Amino acid sequence: MRKAIVSGLILVGLAGGVAAPSLVYGQAADPSEAQAPAAAPAPAAPHQRMHHRALPGERIDARLAYLKTALKITPAQEKQWNALAAVLRRQAHDMDAKIQEHRQAREAQGQTPRTPPTAIERLERRQQFLADAAKRTGAILTAAKPLYASLSPEQKQTADEMLMHGGHRWHHAHG
């Protein structure tokens, strides 16, 4: 059971595996955690708009609000929830920065023909990606364990079911 919740929380943090209701987009789960709205990105050219998805930081508060409501987090669990939410928010915003950096580099490259990476370069990129993922997973795990330990058996069952397979079951049923 614990593996399921941790895996699910990791996926929520890394890939945004659970789709959240659009009614709460941009709202913090806790009013004291509200953040200033981010500046609107410049509109992309028509052919680029289709390829640019919303950034993780633009969806994280909605996802957290959904999870908090679905898990029925109690006032006694707020401290553990807020610790996990802070980690997931920070990671989402870090991912935003990396995505923006990648997009800018790609735009700067423009029409210049790209040479495909060599096999060694691909392996090095993969190694770095996995090292970064392990670091993010460790931070999520550190914050998720105390929260999971504080959940009631009913909350644990909800979390395990809801986050089974990274939330894909919920996403397919409601997406």
Is residue 152 domain-resident? yes
The per-type count for the chain, helices as H runs and strands as E runs, is 7, 0
Task: Name residues whose C-beta falls within 8 Å of residue 55's C-beta, 6 or more positions apart in sequence.
Answer: 92, 95, 96, 99, 100
DSSP SS3 for 55? coil
Is residue 131 domain-resident? yes
Residue among 163, 142, 136 nearest 7 (CA): 163
Is residue 43 domain-resident? no
Is residue 115 domain-resident? no
Q: What is the mean pLDDT of the chain?
A: 75
Is residue 91 domain-resident? yes
Is residue 116 domain-resident? no
pLDDT, residue 110, reads 78
Query: Which domain range does residue 74 map to?
Result: 2-37+48-110+121-174
Is residue 68 domain-resident? yes
68-76 long-range contacts (CB < 8 A, ≥24 apart) are 68/29, 70/158, 70/162, 71/151, 71/155, 71/158, 71/159, 71/162, 72/155, 72/158, 76/150
Is residue 168 domain-resident? yes
Angstrom distance (rounded) from CA 101 to CA 81: 30
Domain count, the chain: 1
Read off the pLDDT of residues 12-51 as tens digits, 9 standing for 90 and up: 444 444 333 332 333 333 434 444 344 444 555 544 444 5
Q: Would you place residue 53 in the very low, low, confident or very high pLDDT band (cuts 50, 70, 90)?
A: confident
